[in-house]
Structure 1
Amino acid sequence: MLELRGINTYYGNIQALRDVNIKINTGEIITLIGANGAGKTTTLMSVSGVVPPRSGEVLFEGNPIQGTNADKIVKMGICQVPEGRLIFPELTVMENLDMGAFLRNDTAGVKEDIEHVFSLFPILKERRKQDGGTLSGGEQQMLAISRALMARPRLLLLDEPSLGLAPLIIRQIFEIIKKINEESNTTVFLVEQNANLALKIAHRGYVMENGEIILADTSDKLLANEDVKKAYLGL
């Protein structure tokens, strides 16, 4: 579904990604793990069009999309849940969800999807008239994921969904990510510092250091890899 070929991305004269190659098949959960500042977020933003790569190719279903505007990439079926959630704090939960469906005009389908996200996150139904900024961190993360789902993505990009959340909420979020993948066959590209949890729900993983992919394997093999255990799993 998605392939990154030789991606080099810069911020001004500073190179953030170096010859990054990643493949993601339809229906997979793929995780990209690495230390803070390794280039994980930049990788997602290179896909979603927020920070276009300077060279290399981003192929979505075989078609190059690098250099395409971010809104057109959303129309193609790729949607990103950004680090820090970035919901609209002064809009209600319902208004945030409506913004996620901004590019759609199928009213019946939008209503159906609102009910679907409320079934995934019942607390959002209770909070539907509250301003997003009054929600807890965990509820805001649920809203950010739900807002992205309202665009009906085929590829969901998740950037640090566990950031700043309590362990119980993190487990709940990760269970829902797995459910989204299994029930709707939504492909998931997950960037996460909590390598242990990410690898437990992913099919395969990539390890990034200093803007480069240094290791790629199945999740089981990465969980058993001594270097990965030492560097990222605290074992």
Structure 2
Amino acid sequence: MLKLANIQTYYGNIQALKGVSIAISAGEIITLIGANGAGKTTTLMSISGIAPPRTGEIHFMGEPIHQVSPDQIVQMGISQVPEGRRIFPLLTVAENLDMGAFLRKDKDGIRQDMEHIFDLFPILAQRRTQAGGTLSGGEQQMLAISRALMARPKLLLLDEPSLGLAPLVIRQIFEIIGKINRESNTTIFLVEQNANLALQIAHRGYVMENGRITLADNAAALLSNEDVKKAYLGI
């Protein structure tokens, strides 16, 4: 479904990604783990067109997207949930969800998808007329994920969904990520510092250090890898 080939991305003269290659198949949950500043977020930004690579190629469903604008990439079926959630704080929950469907014209489908979201996240149904900025951190994360789902993505990019959340809420969020993958067959690319939980729900994983992929394997093998345990699992 998605293929990154030798991606090199810069911020000015600073090189953030140094020849990154990643492949994701339809229906998978793939996780990218690594320390702060390793280049994980830049990888997502390169895929979504916000930080286009200077060299290398990105293909989605067989089509090149490395020179495509972010709004076109969303229309092609890729949605990103940014780090820090970034919901619209003054808009209600329902209005935030409407913004996620901004590029869609099928009103009946939008209404059906919103009801599906409320089934998936009952707390958002209770808060549908409440301003997004008044929600708890966990509720805002649920809203950010839901807003992205309203675009009906084939590929969902998640950037640090556990950031700043209580352990109980983090586990709930990860359970829902797994449920989204299983029930809607949505492919998920998960960037996450909580390597343990990420690898528990992922099929495969990549390890990134200093803008390079240093290790790739199935999730179970990475969980048992001694170097991964020491560096990212605190074992």
Is 1:201 aligned with 2:188?
no
**Offset at residue 158 of structure 1 (A):** 0.2
Deviations 1:183-218 (CA, angstroms, capped at 9, x unpaired): 011000000000000000000000000000000000
Q: Counterpart of 1:140?
A: 140
**Equivalent runs, 1:86-165 vs 2, <5 Å:** 86-165=86-165
CA RMSD after TM alignment = 0.4
Question: Which runs of no fewer than 5 residues in structure 2 stay unpaired?
Answer: none
Q: Counterpart of 1:78?
A: 78
The amino acid across from 1:111 in the alignment is R
Is 1:180 aligned with 2:180?
yes
The amino acid across from 1:145 in the alignment is I
Number of aligned residue pairs: give it: 235
Q: Counterpart of 1:7?
A: 7
Percent identical among aligned pairs is 76
**Offset at residue 162 of structure 1 (A):** 0.2
Q: Counterpart of 2:191?
A: 191
Deviations 1:34-88 (CA, angstroms, capped at 9, x unpaired): 0011000000000000100000000001111002100000000000000000000
Q: Counterpart of 1:41?
A: 41
C-alpha separation in 2, matches of 1:63 and 1:95: 32
Q: Counterpart of 1:64?
A: 64
The amino acid across from 2:140 in the alignment is Q
**Offset at residue 223 of structure 1 (A):** 0.2
TM-score by length of 2: 1.00
C-alpha separation in 2, matches of 1:212 and 1:160: 19
Q: Please identify, of 62-71 and 212-221, the stretch whose mean Cα deviation from structure 2 is larger.
A: 62-71
C-alpha separation in 1, matches of 2:215 and 2:62: 24
The amino acid across from 1:95 in the alignment is E
The amino acid across from 2:211 in the alignment is G
C-alpha separation in 1, matches of 2:188 and 2:18: 23
**Offset at residue 89 of structure 1 (A):** 0.5
SS at match of 2:164: coil
C-alpha separation in 1, matches of 2:172 and 2:111: 24
C-alpha separation in 1, matches of 2:62 and 2:104: 24
4+ residue runs of structure 1 moved beyond 3 angstroms? none
Is 1:22 aligned with 2:22?
yes
**Offset at residue 107 of structure 1 (A):** 0.7
The amino acid across from 2:130 in the alignment is Q
C-alpha separation in 2, matches of 1:76 and 1:23: 18
TM-score by length of 1: 1.00
The amino acid across from 2:91 in the alignment is L
SS at match of 1:216: strand
C-alpha separation in 1, matches of 2:115 and 2:38: 38
The amino acid across from 1:62 in the alignment is G
